[in-house]
Amino acid sequence: MKLLILLTGMLFAAPLLGQAHGEKERKEDIRRHRAMAAAHEAAAKCLESGKPENDCLEKLRQDCKGLGIGKYCGLRHQH
């Protein structure tokens, strides 16, 4: 019974959690995406230049601090 109540509450709460952002939040999201894209572009250029991968990833980690999820803006390739 408790599980049913919990699931019902989650069902009704879901639309509230998925509310659209206002214009201010939308502009902030755009700014973050552009900053992450610039950081990843710089990381790609770093790798193209022949620098060690660890050096490029460290720079990416620094550039992405506070922008995305994880150490590398939410993007880390598997090797």
- Write down how long the chain is: 79
The answer to whether 60 touches 73, Cβ cutoff 8 Å, is yes
The whole-number pLDDT of residue 54 equals 94
pLDDT at 10: 61
* pLDDT tens column, 15-68: 555 566 799 999 998 998 899 899 999 999 999 999 999 999 999 999 988 887
pLDDT band at 79 (very low <50, low <70, confident <90, very high): very low
Q: Cα 48 to chain center, whole Å?
A: 24
Residue 74 is classified by DSSP as T
Global pTM exceeds 0.75: no
